[in-house]
Structure 1
Amino acid sequence: MRTSKRLQILDAAVTVVERDGVTALTFESVATASGLTKGGLLYHFASKDELVLALHQHLAGMWESDLVAALGVPVEEATADQRLAAYAKVSIRGATGPELLMMLEASTNPVLLQPWREVIARWVPDPSTIDVDDVDAVTRILAWLAADGLWLSESVGGRHLTPELRIVLAERIGDMLGP
């Protein structure tokens, strides 16, 4: 199947961010990386803001695809604990450079943060609903934070964890959730 032009543009934008950083993301740099004209980009994205939002949606969607693949059962049949365990499994890979850069950019912009928040909302518990006296609920929050810590340690950490240790840690996080 042929890659759509829109997907080709988004993949080129990922390449630009990976190679040169978020500030280098312009219609010109993406046109060059995609092999399309600036007009071709404008056909799919009316503004740079639209392109940047679409890139956040694209990366968040790719992350969610990884989560679905790690789940092992259809999403609609999965329990909250199974989704959280899949989240921990995916966390062992850490963030790609473009994911990390885009997430950092989104951290101060509610519109750009929304695609990431939507994915997180489907895979981890909502801390605002947690009863601090419910040991199981608190354990779920702890598992989520441990998975995020594992993800972040690979992304920016100064101490390298072996792949074997990362797998064992993700399994232990999943074990926190019970059978």
Structure 2
Amino acid sequence: MRTSKRTQILQAAARVVQREGVKSVTFDSVAVEAGLTKGGLLYHFASREDLIQAIHQHLADQWEADMVTAAGKPAAAATPVERLVAYARVATQSASRAELLFMLEGSTTAEHSAPWDAVLERWAPLPVAAGGAPAALDQFIARLAADGLWLYESLTAERLDPGLKDAIAERIASALTRTDL
């Protein structure tokens, strides 16, 4: 299947961010990276803000696609535990610099964080209340452990052995599927 121009542009923009940071996303820099004209970009994105918002959505969609693959089904068809297990397994994948920068940048405005928040709400929602069921608290602790693994691997120069990452993800998954909680 041929990549659409819009997807080609978003992938090029992510490469610009990977190399140079979010501030470097301009129509000129992305056009050069995508091998298109500035007018070609303007056809798909009316403003830099539209482009930035589309990058947030594109990266969040990729993150969700990884969880769908890990679960073997979309979030709506998975149980809460299956969703968290998929989330934990995806945590073994290091984030790219572009993903980290966009997640960080996205946390500053509701519009930018919306795509990321929507994925989290589907796959790893927060517990309803602090005084909720112990199983819900245990599931949230497992989510925090998965987040910690993902951040550790993404923010440090040290690379964990793939087998160790998989073992940690499986340990988190097994904690989620315990019947004695």
1:9-46 CA-to-partner distances (Å, cap 9, x unmatched) read 10110111111111111000000001111111011000
Give the distance between the partners of 1:82 and 1:143, measured in 2 at CA.
Answer: 13
Following superposition, the deviation at residue 133 of structure 1 comes to: 5.0
1:24-103 pair list within 5 angstroms: 24-103=24-103
Q: Percent identity?
A: 52
* Letter in structure 2 aligned against 1:136: A
The whole-number CA distance in structure 1 between the counterparts of 2:5 and 2:158 is 40
CA contact (8 A) 1:68 1:75 kept: yes
Cα distance in 2 between the residues matched to 1:47 and 1:17 = 17
Given that 2:75 and 2:122 are in contact with CA atoms closer than 8 Å, whether structure 1 keeps it comes out as: no
Q: What is the deviation of 1:176?
A: 1.1
AA aligned to 1:99 is E
Q: Quote the Cα distance in structure 2 between the aligned partners of 1:163 and 1:101.
A: 24
1:170 pairs with 2:169: yes
After the TM superposition, which of the residue ranges 155-164 and 46-55 deviates more from structure 2?
155-164
The answer as to 2:106 corresponding to 1:106 is: yes
Unaligned regions of 5+ residues in structure 1, if any? none
Aligned residues: 178
For the Cα contact (< 8 Å) 1:10–1:58, is it kept in 2? yes
CA contact (8 A) 1:83 1:123 kept: yes
Superposed displacement of residue 3, structure 1: 1.4
Distance 2:159 2:132 in 1: 36
Deviation at residue 109 of structure 1 after TM alignment: 1.4
1:112-147 per-position Cα deviation (integer Å, ceiling 9, x unaligned): 0110000000001323x1353521011011011001
| TM-score normalised per structure 2 | 0.93
Aligned to 1:138: 137
Give the ranges of 4+ consecutive aligned residues of structure 1 lying more than 4 Å apart after TM superposition.
none
AA aligned to 2:3 is T
**Residue type matched to 1:135 in 2?**
P
Structure 1 residue 175, shift from structure 2 partner: 0.9
Q: For the structure 1 residues 115 and 73, does the alpha-carbon distance in structure 2 shift closer, same or farther, using more than 3 Å as the test?
A: closer
Runs of 5+ unmatched residues, structure 2: none
- TM-score (norm: length of structure 1): 0.94
